[in-house]
Structure 1
Amino acid sequence: MSFLKLSNIHKSYFLGKEEFPVLKGIDLDFELGEFVSILGESGGGKSTLMNIIGGLDREFEGAVSVAGQKLDHKDEKALDAYRRDTIGYIYQAYNLISHLSVLDNVLISLDMTTLNKAEREKRALALLQRVGLSDQAKKYPNQLSGGQKQRVAIARALASDPKVIIADEPTGALDSQNTVEVLQILNEIAAEGRLVITVTHSQTVADAGTRIVHLADGKIDADKRIRAAYPPQTTPSPIKSRLLPATVSIKTAIKYLKFNFWRNSLIVIGTAIGLFAVILFSGLGNGISGYINRQITDMANPQVVTVARYQKKTTTTPSGDNPMVAALTSSAATKKPTFSHHQMAQIAALKHVDSVQKSYTATNVTVKYQTKTATMTTLSNWTKSATTSSIDVGHKPGKGEIILDKNAIAKKIAKSDWQNLVGKTVTLSYTALDRAGKQVTVNFSAKVAGIGSNANSMQTINIINTTTLTDAMRAANVATTPTALAVKIDQLANVKSVNRKINRLKSNDSRLYSSSSIVSTIDTIQTYVDLASTILAVIAGISLVVSALMIIVTMYMSVSARTKEIGILRALGESKRDIRRLFISESLVIGVVSAVLGTGLAFGFGAIANLALQSIANYSFVQISLLNVGTTFIIALIISLIAALLPSRHAAALNPIDALSAD
């Protein structure tokens, strides 16, 4: 029984509705061990017949059987497997892949086998040694002569141990010496028990084989046996094929990008600049947000909410006071509602409330040290809302102690040696209403425990020990029931919810309390920072759109320039999916390298910017987070993937026959 059989093969091409028959009923049988030459003039149908035998041409009538099994030319996956398992191609134009080394050109067939890496390389080197090119393994095709290129093509055709070798004008571009050597190799291949089919118009080539089939005007007009076929050989188990692994596509993509390094570098740099802008602006937004948050939290603990009794009408606050302090301020002329023990217990019983402290604020407090005096706009007692981060010198106030604001008080009463005020005693006085509603003066003394300041001027740092202040109030017959509370929340994440709960507490449908938190201030500022960051990111995004267009154009150019390579890979048995994956891999590699470069640039420029801004504030204004880096890589991969989709689909859709004939 014949190994390969063609039955009643008909093939026509159409120009509009006009039909041009090329093959007109071809019947042929081929045996293993034969070296068959299909001889004929140009246009006689030789190449078309070769493409049908090789599983590249699917549009014909008739049947092709291999080892007694009919090939289904409608099943593209089956044909891919047929080319991987059974067929090896040798071309007149060599059809080597220019950006792969000699060794890699042979390995590309072996990558679709089950051999491990070491076995693949060993076989590839052995085949190159067989064709006399073991010393040329690391060279590229453009560094070889025509005869050497053809030998590489022969080694590649034999790599996957195919049963059928199809040679299309294998000596057409060779001199007489190389022709003799290539024909000798083809005879040796047939002698190994393979079927060698050459397509040629050379009688010399035809005479070198075991059989000549003459094709004229789409029909066989002669089938002549020159000598007996080589006897069957006992060969080891054939190499098993497999689908091309995704890692091979990635490695091939990297090799191509390295081969065209400078052109691809421009694309990478262009994409990296857009990604650099995105990550730098994101880091700048993080830094500015963190700086503002730090300044605000230096003033007050964000886990503490300030609670006052709710009033429909609010009194005018002294000029320059912070709005949050206004709710706490009691003046000599105005008496604000206070908190009862029951109301304090009601708030303390709320979920997530750790503690409730009484909060007092005195206004227009006169401070005297020796002969110098100054006036505090506000003086508050130390609660958990205060933070030690605002203390520049000294410590938080204990009993009988006070913290003075550096700029508003300390430098006014001791301009040159204000730091030496720590440990000194100052006298204080302010006007308040006593229990009878009469205006009285509260006098007391306190030792300076520390001096503090805020980087901004939103609030002064004048804080006294609670017991010290309440003792002085009692001595002046001023009530110590608080007009405000400092409520400590267990976790920062619960501040907003507790704040809402306090504001919703009612008695007889009347709102009881007015609660505010510095978190709401932070959120408001964060909204503006986020808006500014978003605007900057959108501007950077424009460059990313340009980068995506660059990648798309590059991929289309790559597909156009590598059309023949696509045909070669399909002829070797790669599927449409493999071709798509190859170009997508190239695009993704560009994206990843761009992201790495963009991230590096962002960290570098960020470090320089932070160093330059140290003189303005001792703070890193560019803070690039892992989330920023991760987001940048995701953006790069998405852009690369989108940019590669259409070009890769176009590449996969190319007809392998047309691709092989491309210049």
Structure 2
Amino acid sequence: MAVLELKNVTKTYKLAGGGSFQALKGISASFEAGELVAIVGESGSGKSTLMNTIGVLDSDFGGQIIYEGKNLATYSKQELVDYHKKSIGFIFQNFNLIPHLSLLDNVAMAMTLSNVDQKTREARAKELLKQVGLEAHIYKKPDAISGGQKQRVAIARALINDPDMIIADEPTGALDAETTDTVLELIKDIAKSGKLVLMVTHSERVASHCSRVLRIDNGQLLEDFRQEELVIEDSQNKEQVAVKNMSWYNAFRLALLNMKAKFGRNALVAVGSSIGIMSVVLMLSLGKGVTSYVKSTMNSYTNPKVTEVHKNGTSNQKQMATQTNGNSAAQAQANQDMLKALTGTGNDSGFSQKEIKKLASLKDVTKAQKGFSTISLGTTTVKYKNKEASIVQLQTMSSAVTDSNIRQGKRPGKNEILIDAGTADILGKNMIGKKVTLHLTVDSKQIEKTFKVAGTYSLSASGSSTATILARYSDLASLYKETGTNLKPNVIYLTAKDKDATSRVKDKVKDLGYSGSMQEAMTDMFSDMLTIITDVLTGIAAISLIVSAIMILVVLNISVVERTKEIGVLKALGARRKDIRRIFVSEAFLIGLSAGALGDLVTWILSLIANHFSQAMFEINVVAITPQYVISGLVISILISMLAGMMPANRASKLDPVDSLRKE
């Protein structure tokens, strides 16, 4: 029974000018196992075109090519892949070995594409290399051996999956006479083992070694005659190779070998890409470090269990002022209302007893304290002997004032006050225990009262603070009562059961429509400003990521051009489009992984240097790298690289195998 049968096979090429050219004109022939067939013809006769159609490197043909009773033209994509992997082997004139792979990997390539395990494929490749006399060279690269040895490697590669047919395209065209005889003997032995060997040649000398000769000219079969019959030798049963599709692991391994071969170029690309990743991660870490420092500094002098509650009078007045555009009277009234809110004299700034009870009943709240705070705007002063200082803020003591706020002295008792450290310096040295006179205006009435200084107060470690006096709420209420005014609390201090509960209490307070302390507002404002600055700087740094993507795109496109012939070989050996894409996408992944890891490493080193100096100068870590930033940098780098690699990968997968193999 014929192994292969051609029935009226035709092939027509469309020309660029709109015409057509018929390269094959109704070729019919049948071939049996154990034949060594020479297809002879001059250049342009159609012999190579015939081989490409039989090998289905070019599947656009007319007529029928019957293999195992089925027309190759009706094969599905997967059936064609299987046909290349297990039914046919190719021996090329120019060897077409992959230069960055060892002889062992070159020979085993078809099995790699068939997803055969490494141990099995290496054992088979070593056996074939031994048969062709190259067992001493298995780990060498193709550039390290002669032309005749390269052709023997190509023969071993064609036999790796033990196919039924071998197509040899001018297998001796690049060899000298002595090496030609050696290669022809090897090919003849392949035919004697029971395989069909179709050999394209223009040499009569080569054709004389064959058992059958087909002469082609101008796309037509002119002559088909038999010469000596080959005696088929007893051979072992055909080894069945389980044909599967190449796995991601093998695609990744091939990508890694190529990356290694072009290490210098790929290393430079990774370094260039890492700059963008480093910039982004560094900006994010710097922003987090500075923001964390601001927040911790602002919060270090407050009781973490206390929530300060204000009515939204000030913000409401601001909103009203915004809405009075063009109305001078309304604008003036809005300004007056805002001034009252700031000074604590506004009607809507005080808390009713009902509101206080509601706040005190919140979950996680253990205590609620009344408080009062006012900005005096120059109407409040404190005097000691002949020295006087203006007070900007007058407020009451609460649990929010921590021991760390008191620089000297103690918490005030009855008719005692705390004054800020700066005001104490103005009034005199060692003010603790001294009596001072407080002058303030209540409802347009000037009043004064003598208090004892219990201690000095500050909001920061540096001692800087707004000119402030802290008095007990009861003492301030008594002072207001003397003028016939009832002191109404305009701030409530809620103490949570623990630090973790504080955030929950603050959220509930905001849900009820109240606001937090001025310090919280300032902290949020600074945090928002720093976040905006960080985002802007990160955005600027991210521009370099676009440059990185373009660089990777260019490099992988160059790689496709350089490896066009390699892609043709892989397709001839049974690689799917998906397999080609996987190889190039894996290379992009490796570039992205290397760039991301390098970017993270450099950022970490820079953070150590920056934090060393910032600790020495300010006792802070100005760069705060988090695992999230490191992982994000790595993931972003990989994604950008793989996205940039998709277009070259698709381009590589769509290359025509015939055109690829002709590429020089």
- Name the counterpart of 1:535: 536
- Name the counterpart of 1:441: 449
- Name the counterpart of 2:3: 3
Correspondence list, 1:578-657, <5 A: 578-657=579-658
Cα 1:165–1:399 shift into 2, 3 Å: farther
- Name the counterpart of 2:510: 499
Cα 1:326–1:405 shift into 2, 3 Å: farther
Cα 1:475–1:647 shift into 2, 3 Å: closer
| Cα drift, residue 660 of structure 1 | 0.3
| Cα drift, residue 53 of structure 1 | 1.2
For 1:557, give the aligned amino acid: I
Select 1:239's aligned residue among 235, 238, 241. 241
**Once structures 1 and 2 are overlaid, which stretch shifts more, 171-180 or 72-81?**
72-81
For 1:19, give the aligned amino acid: S
| Cα drift, residue 259 of structure 1 | 0.9
For 1:250, give the aligned amino acid: F
| Cα drift, residue 395 of structure 1 | 10
- Name the counterpart of 1:296: 298
| Cα drift, residue 82 of structure 1 | 1.0
- Name the counterpart of 1:267: 269
The 2-side partners of 1:105 and 1:389 are apart by 74
Correspondence list, 1:479-494, <5 A: 482-488=489-495, 490-492=501-503
**Matched residue count:** 629
The 2-side partners of 1:559 and 1:430 are apart by 85
- Name the counterpart of 2:65: 64
For 2:213, give the aligned amino acid: I
| Cα drift, residue 97 of structure 1 | 0.9
The 1-side partners of 2:283 and 2:657 are apart by 47
- Name the counterpart of 2:356: 344
For 1:347, give the aligned amino acid: L
Cα 1:205–1:661 shift into 2, 3 Å: same
Indicate if the aligned counterparts of 1:298 and 1:387 stay in contact, CA closer than 8 A: no
The 2-side partners of 1:428 and 1:330 are apart by 24
Q: Deviations over 1:516-543 (max 9, x none)?
A: 5644433332332222222212222222
Indicate if the aligned counterparts of 1:328 and 1:483 stay in contact, CA closer than 8 A: no
Local SS of the residue matching 1:409: helix
- Name the counterpart of 2:323: none
Indicate if the aligned counterparts of 2:421 and 2:463 stay in contact, CA closer than 8 A: no
| TM-score, reference length from structure 1 | 0.83
Correspondence list, 1:464-475, <5 A: 470=474
| Cα drift, residue 659 of structure 1 | 0.5
Indicate if the aligned counterparts of 1:210 and 1:229 stay in contact, CA closer than 8 A: no
The 2-side partners of 1:559 and 1:309 are apart by 65
Indicate if the aligned counterparts of 2:110 and 2:157 stay in contact, CA closer than 8 A: yes
Cα 1:224–1:387 shift into 2, 3 Å: farther
- Name the counterpart of 1:510: none
Indicate if the aligned counterparts of 1:295 and 1:455 stay in contact, CA closer than 8 A: no
The 2-side partners of 1:135 and 1:412 are apart by 97
For 2:531, give the aligned amino acid: D
For 2:296, give the aligned amino acid: R
Cα 1:439–1:257 shift into 2, 3 Å: same
Correspondence list, 1:111-510, <5 A: 111-220=112-221, 221-230=223-232, 233-300=235-302, 304-308=307-311, 310=313, 339-350=351-362, 355-361=367-373, 366=382, 377-378=392-393, 380-386=395-401, 397=411, 405-409=420-424, 413-414=428-429, 425=433, 427=435, 430-431=438-439, 439-444=447-452, 446=454, 453-454=460-461, 457=464, 459=466, 470=474, 482-488=489-495, 490-492=501-503, 495-496=506-507, 498-503=509-514
Local SS of the residue matching 1:111: helix
- Name the counterpart of 1:509: none
Local SS of the residue matching 2:618: coil
Local SS of the residue matching 1:574: coil
Correspondence list, 1:84-99, <5 A: 84-99=85-100
Q: Deviations over 1:616-658 (max 9, x none)?
A: 4221222222332233233323322332222222222211100
Local SS of the residue matching 1:581: helix
For 2:204, give the aligned amino acid: Q
Q: Deviations over 1:218-252 (max 9, x none)?
A: 23312214214515744154111111112222222
| Cα drift, residue 515 of structure 1 | 5.8
The 1-side partners of 2:410 and 2:573 are apart by 80
Local SS of the residue matching 1:305: strand
Indicate if the aligned counterparts of 1:441 and 1:476 stay in contact, CA closer than 8 A: no
Indicate if the aligned counterparts of 2:412 and 2:454 stay in contact, CA closer than 8 A: no
Indicate if the aligned counterparts of 2:34 and 2:230 stay in contact, CA closer than 8 A: no
Local SS of the residue matching 1:215: strand
**Once structures 1 and 2 are overlaid, which stretch shifts more, 267-276 or 404-413?**
404-413
- Name the counterpart of 2:332: none
Indicate if the aligned counterparts of 2:408 and 2:455 stay in contact, CA closer than 8 A: no
The 2-side partners of 1:477 and 1:444 are apart by 20
The 2-side partners of 1:343 and 1:295 are apart by 32
Indicate if the aligned counterparts of 1:580 and 1:649 stay in contact, CA closer than 8 A: yes
| Cα drift, residue 172 of structure 1 | 1.4
Unpaired runs of 5+ in structure 1?
315-323, 504-513
The 2-side partners of 1:390 and 1:592 are apart by 50
Indicate if the aligned counterparts of 2:92 and 2:169 stay in contact, CA closer than 8 A: yes
Local SS of the residue matching 1:487: strand
| Cα drift, residue 139 of structure 1 | 1.8
Indicate if the aligned counterparts of 1:328 and 1:360 stay in contact, CA closer than 8 A: no
Cα 1:125–1:519 shift into 2, 3 Å: farther
Cα 1:501–1:61 shift into 2, 3 Å: same
Local SS of the residue matching 2:200: strand
Unpaired runs of 5+ in structure 2?
319-337
Indicate if the aligned counterparts of 2:307 and 2:502 stay in contact, CA closer than 8 A: no
Indicate if the aligned counterparts of 1:169 and 1:199 stay in contact, CA closer than 8 A: yes
For 1:278, give the aligned amino acid: V
- Name the counterpart of 1:319: none
Cα 1:281–1:389 shift into 2, 3 Å: farther
User: Is 1:545–2:560 an aligned residue pair?
Assistant: no
| Cα drift, residue 593 of structure 1 | 1.0
- Name the counterpart of 1:13: 13
- Name the counterpart of 2:571: 570
Cα 1:326–1:637 shift into 2, 3 Å: farther
The 2-side partners of 1:568 and 1:561 are apart by 13
For 1:306, give the aligned amino acid: V
| Cα drift, residue 263 of structure 1 | 1.8
Local SS of the residue matching 1:623: coil
For 2:607, give the aligned amino acid: G
Cα 1:310–1:276 shift into 2, 3 Å: closer
Q: Deviations over 1:122-169 (max 9, x none)?
A: 222222222222222222111111112112212211222222221111
For 1:348, give the aligned amino acid: A
For 2:309, give the aligned amino acid: T
Local SS of the residue matching 1:485: strand
Indicate if the aligned counterparts of 1:309 and 1:338 stay in contact, CA closer than 8 A: no
RMSD over aligned CA atoms reads 3.8
Indicate if the aligned counterparts of 2:435 and 2:450 stay in contact, CA closer than 8 A: no
Identity %: 33
| TM-score, reference length from structure 2 | 0.83
- Name the counterpart of 2:23: 22
The 2-side partners of 1:184 and 1:460 are apart by 105
